[in-house]
Chains A and B, each alone.
Chain A
Amino acid sequence: MGRTKNDILQGTLTLLVLQTLAARGPAHGYALCERIQSASDELLRVEEGSLYPALHRMQQDGWLKADWRLSEKGRRAKFYAVTAKGRRQLKKEAESWDRLIRGVALVMQPLADGADA
């Protein structure tokens, strides 16, 4: 597990995609990569290899819908948008993410205070 910088935690990719699409409107896969990267101040980098399978899975689960449109540069691209079901899912995942963060933070507290340098 030598990689340090930007592996996205298993399971959070869905959350990030839903959030990004919900907040900033429909987008194609490439734009999604860029948006997540820039929104996270380049801390997170979406791996292209896992993005598309995730998009397709979410589309099948009915969280995303997709249609083909022309991109800004006039290329045909597949644009994804969040469905109502996806928004409900986003709410659920955001809540559990929130709980996870708080929980992890609480657990990490003593360590951060004490020993390690």
Chain B
Amino acid sequence: MSLAARIANIFRARRIEAEVDEELAFHIAERVDQLTAQGMSRPRARREARRRFGSYIRQREETRDMDIVRILEAFLGDLRFGARQLRLNPGFAAVAVLSLALGIGANSAIFQLINALRLRSLPVPSAEELVSIENQGRFMRSGWSSGRHDIYTYAQFELMAEHQEAFQSLLAFGTDRFNLSRGGEARYAQGLYVTPNFFQVAGVSPMLGSWISPDTDPHDCAGAGVMLDYAFWQRNYGGDPAVIGKEISLNGRSFPVLGVTPPAFAGLEPARRYDLAVPLCADRLLDEDGQGRLVNKTAWWLSPIGRLKPGWDVERASAHITNLSELIFRESVPESYQPDAARRYRENKLQAASAHAGVSEVRREMEAPLWILLASTALVLLIACANLANLLLARASVRVREVALRQAVGASRRRLIGQMLSESLLLAGCGAALGALLAYGLSRALLVFIGNNGYPVEMGLGLDWRVVGFTAALALSTCLLFGLVPAMRATRGAPADAMRGGRGSGGGGERHGLRRTLVVSQIALSFVLLVGALLFGQSLRNLLGSDTGIRSEGVLVAAIDTRTASLAPERRLEVYGRLQDGFNTLPEVASAAAVLMTPFSGSGWNESCHADDDPAHTDGDNVWFNRIGPGYFETMETPLFAGRDLGEQDVAGGPQVAVVNQELVRRFFGDQDPIGRSFRTEPRRGEEPDVYQIVGLVKDTKYNGLREPQRPIAFLPIAQDGLSPIDMEYVLRARGSFASTMAGVKRQIAEVDPGLQVEFRVLEREVAESVLLERLMANLSGGFGVLAALLAALGLYGVMSYMVARKRSEIGVRMALGAQAGDVLRLVLSEAGRLLALGLAAGVAGAFALSRYAASLLYGLEANDATTLAIGVVLLSGVGLVAVLAPVRRASRLDPAVVLRDE
């Protein structure tokens, strides 16, 4: 039976079983008839008939098993034969398995991330009912934002929850980190602010302890407490059940532990972990002014998720929420917005999207790059398959006689193809198994790569049916891809022709044609990948080469938190000043300066501003602000171009001054001298504008990322900050090692106030992390590009060697007739050149068509950058020439006498 029929038989097993049952039932009925005719009672006859059959059940199963066992036996036989074939050819087997393992492993690793981020449902009951509310189109959000996904104010959430009809109920959560330590070095936990119904809507009940009633008024803080994540509970409390009721300190304030969630639940964000959750109202308890964000209409911090009512689907819910947008934004306009801002605010639109896989800002950032990477790895795998097909074709031409012999003695073509496919399947299976191992390590390495210190990226990358299915499907389809055509080719020829033998010019030409097509497509595909790698590589180089305006190497950031120190707000500025002076006396510190928000930290503050001669009828320019202490520019090594630095003379109550960057001057004053001029903020409704006098001009610096277009920035003195911020950062240019600097800083802090807390960061790393995605793309696509070029070179080498071997006699004859080595060289090189040129032409077309998908990820160059294409052509031609060097040499060194003697 052919392999196909046998596989079909497995699927027919059920029918076979039924047939066997019926056949045996017939037999027993006949026997019973016979025995009763002889005078036996019917029940006895039935027993006797069954007895003669031995055990009826066992019989039945043996009979059915016969079919399946034979199927499997034949299949195993084919596999054994395949294994033997491969053992005879260990070099081929190793190359095949390894290249497949690389291809399948890379695909599977990327797929695991996509699966975890996008495809896999949250481990909560009926996850498909979960729907998130998100922004639609241009969205006006002005105020104080903190949170990861699409975020809303509490006023908006309240209106959503009140007016919506699509959901059984609507939860909301905000993200934050909480300092667990009561002094000394800060220790942070990833926290969630949640509505009281959070766990109920999510469908999670505490494994230990309890949670406040889902109907609690969100403003009511009487029963506020903490829900712990299972892993956090294990880590920090060793899984002690007595933790319930114990106090835990969050940002210096104590809360009782209420419960622990079961191990499967890890929050509603697939790429993030949560350590603990507190009710929304805890935000008020932790807020220094005792108000909190529940009552602040310009505090954006909550992500809503609802559970659909029966009969509702995502589209219907989305239409419903979009309809509610007008009402929600009309009713929640912040009083402080100017008319223009309020108008834009009221035009905001909402929509709903399925949240079965949770909500994730990592997904928004990573999804497009991951699909691009998956496409790249798929191309690599295709190239590897083309290589294997080529190798198998070459082997098939060697095995022509063996195959012909077997056909001549009666082996069916299907049987032979089945056998060859078993060999391919064995290769693909081994490749997939090895690839799965590779993917295990690779996907975890990728996770580490895309995470950063403050917010670790965590995903459960366990094997599920999708990953296993994906890998198995890859193995099967690659097996068919590289195995089927060679097998069909090998068994197509008439046995008699092949047996007659010689060099057989019959089907050879065409077979060679197929191999050339394969090589051309390999070259084209690898060119596309190479161009991708070059584009991403150059983007990263452009980014890293871009001028940040600061020198980040050797700068340590110390973030000071005063929450745990019993410190009156009006004393804070004084403490910050003493810290700055203290740090500057440290021998390990070259210079130190306070700064409200260290560049590249992700925090920001911006306001719409006008120049002093602007009548303010136009829309203002968005200016980004920061507050700094004396010595900041010196520490960051940002050159001062004009005017003076901020200093001790800029005190509270004095004229408000600012140092600005070149971009701000370009926008507001053109080429006029900015020193002495001023600019003002667009005031909130009912307030006076802030007016800042420019005292100095510094070089352009980046604010939060290497990628950002140059922003207008104004630096204000900390001393003039009326708000006396609850935390402060210091940039310290270290003289010695970071370790000794940190020790010195901690000593100084303890001297000023032992209740202060500090967290250290390395500025250079923060800068590097702002181009994490670009680095990932450059590194991975670079790796894939090199791999693809190597595989294509291997393919070209194989085909050219084959061609030289085939044309051996032709070359011999030509040389005997007086052709020079140069002529032979031209013969071989022109063939190689034709293949390369065809491949490159197709590759350039492909790169043109595909590179626009990468456009949004590029920096400082166009997707169809001509230079990049040219570099790609040169690189791949070079690689191709190296690949054909050996065959060319072999051809030019042929000795005509030897060749002709062999014929």
Contacts and interface: CB of A to CB of B under 8 A. Distances in A.
Interface of A: 28-30, 47-49, 52-53, 56-57, 60, 71, 73, 75-78
Given A48-B59, A57-B66, A30 B54 contact: no
Interface of B: 1, 19-20, 22-24, 26-27, 29-31, 33, 52-54, 59, 62-63, 66-67, 70
Given A57-B66, A78-B19, A52 B24 contact: yes
A56 B66 contact: yes
A117 B70 CA distance: 47
Given A28-B27, A52-B24, A71-B26, 4 more contacts: A29-B23, A52-B23, A75-B26, A78-B22
B53 A30 contact: no
A65 B47 CA distance: 31
A76 B62 CA distance: 22
Contacts of A29: 23, 26-27
B27 A48 contact: yes
Contacts of A47: 54
Given A48-B52, A48-B53, A77 B67 contact: no
A76 B29 CA distance: 11
Contacts of B22: 76, 78
Contacts of A75: 26, 29-30
A96 B27 CA distance: 31
Given A29-B23, A30-B27, A52 B59 contact: yes
Given A78-B23, A78-B26, A49 B33 contact: no
A60 B66 CA distance: 10
B71 to A, nearest CB: 9
Contacts of A71: 26, 30
| Chain A to chain B: the 3 pairs with minimum beta-carbon distance, closest first | A49-B54, A30-B30, A48-B53
Contacts of A52: 20, 23-24, 27, 59, 63
B52 A77 contact: no
A28 B54 contact: no
A28 B33 CA distance: 15
B26 A60 contact: no
B52 A53 contact: no
Nearest to A52: B63
7 contacts: A29-B23, A30-B31, A48-B53, A48-B59, A57-B70, A76-B26, A77-B23
Contacts of B66: 53, 56-57
Nearest to B24: A52
A77 B54 CA distance: 21
A30 B25 CA distance: 11
B63 A56 contact: yes
A79 B797 CA distance: 60
A49 B70 CA distance: 18
Could you say which of B24, B52, B63 has the most chain A C-beta atoms within 10 Å of its C-beta?
B63
Contacts of B24: 52
B1 A48 contact: no
Nearest to B59: A49
B56 to A, nearest CB: 10
A73 B37 CA distance: 14
Contacts of B54: 47-49
A81 to B, nearest CB: 15
A56 B67 contact: yes
A103 B708 CA distance: 97
A39 B177 CA distance: 92
A47 B67 CA distance: 20
A30 B26 contact: yes
A49 B22 CA distance: 15
B53 A49 contact: yes
Contacts of A53: 62-63, 66
Nearest to A45: B52
Contacts of B70: 57, 60
Contacts of B29: 75
A57 B54 CA distance: 19
A43 B247 CA distance: 92
Contacts of A48: 27, 52-54, 59
Nearest to B67: A56
A75 B31 CA distance: 13
Could you say which of A47, A52, A60, A76 has the most chain B C-beta atoms within 10 Å of its C-beta?
A52
A47 B23 CA distance: 16
Contacts of B31: 30
A60 B1 contact: yes
B686 to A, nearest CB: 92
B52 to A, nearest CB: 6
Contacts of B26: 28-30, 71, 75-78
A73 B33 contact: yes
A60 B52 CA distance: 26
A16 B30 CA distance: 21
Nearest to B23: A78
